[in-house]
Amino acid sequence: MGRTRSWATAKTDQRVERALGALAAAVLVAIAAMLATVLIKAWPSFSHNGLRWFGPGGDVDTQLRAMAESKPLPGRSIYYFRAWPLIWGTLLTTVAAVLIALVISMLAAVFLTEFAPPAVRRVLDPVIRLLAGVPSVIYGLIGILVIAPYIDKHLISDSRRASVGYVVQLNGNNVTTAILILTLMILPIMVAISASALTSVPASWREGSLALGVNRWRTIWRVSLRTARPAIAAATVLATARALGEAVMLAMVAGGRGFAPNLLDGFTALFEPVRPLAATILQNSEGLTIPVLAHTMYAVAAVLLVSAAMLSFGGWYAKQRFQRYGVGA
């Protein structure tokens, strides 16, 4: 009797294992299907444009409008698309925001864990966690209603407006506003992860450094921050992924125009509008029933998806390299 029961339960155990494995495999298939379908749907756009898809050439907004109206541009294929302004906008906003946030978050994390009075720390810890959870549309709302009007009114002079007026209209929704809000948005999560890594640096390592007569700042710089490198890498990857995929906030404050800010314009370039890749998908979401436009949007999505995947691989690699003497996230 007892024998049959244990045999039966062992069988149940096996069945549970199979069921869970099957579920995991099903999710794997769903995710693989996502990658595959996005790439397949994107293919017509890539195959009609070749590698020039990524290059500059003409006004990307005109090209998208031509697709939406199904009227090809004179002498061009209906699929004609040159994404450089969108890619450039994504690169500008993402790289600038992540670099600024990286510097600020390291200093802030050091402040939080080393210098801040305990009372300040007790208040700031939950506030940072709250800010990390604030939906991006709220950051966008603050950006479009507070920051953009301020920049429009006080930072852009009329002569600056006139100097590029024949190419593009300058207003408060521009690349600077986008970078500013994006930095603000990714900062909390970077500070939170870095600070938690700094607190888990073994005290003996720091004490060893202090005992050798190294001052506190250098100890932080040479021992604590180095030990926290895997976590800082993880935080950077997470923040970059968030910045890359951010659509809503950037659609609200970045200017919504497929324009590539020309760095030769000097400071004026800071006030030129952009529209990153993710925001482009969002702003063309109503035209997805038009096949050509849909293929183009899936191509944009494929670029985002592949970059995000490469990013997480890069993060994994960086973590592996730093892991030897490090504390993870």
**Binding to another protein (CB under 8 A): which residues in 210-229?**
210, 215-219, 221
Between 32 and 162, CB nearer to another protein:
32
Residues 267-286 that bind another protein (CB under 8 A): 278, 281-282, 285-286
Between 31 and 95, CB nearer to another protein:
31
180 binds another protein per the rule CB under 8 A: no
> Are 217 and 311 a contacting pair, CB within 8 Å?
no
118 binds another protein per the rule CB under 8 A: yes
The least distance separating another protein from the CB of residue 223, rounded to whole angstroms, comes to 11
The least distance separating another protein from the CB of residue 265, rounded to whole angstroms, comes to 25
The least distance separating another protein from the CB of residue 202, rounded to whole angstroms, comes to 9
Between 96 and 108, CB nearer to another protein:
108
Binding-site member from 122, 150, 157, 222 for another protein (CB under 8 A): 122
> Are 327 and 228 a contacting pair, CB within 8 Å?
yes
Residues 40-59: x where in contact with another protein by CB under 8 A, - otherwise, as a string: -x------------------
Measured in degrees and rounded to the nearest 5, phi and psi for residue 80 equal -55, 120
Block residue for tokens 């061009």: 76
Three-point CA angle 57, 61, 64, nearest 5°: 95
The least distance separating another protein from the CB of residue 163, rounded to whole angstroms, comes to 26
Lookup: tokens for 278:
């993710």
Indicate the residue type of 132: A
The least distance separating another protein from the CB of residue 160, rounded to whole angstroms, comes to 22
Indicate the residue type of 158: D
**d(C-alpha 301, C-alpha 245), whole Å:** 10
**d(C-alpha 185, C-alpha 139), whole Å:** 7
126 binds another protein per the rule CB under 8 A: yes
Q: How distant, in Å, are the alpha carbons of 72, 122, 137, 201, 282 from that of 229? A: 51, 25, 31, 11, 35
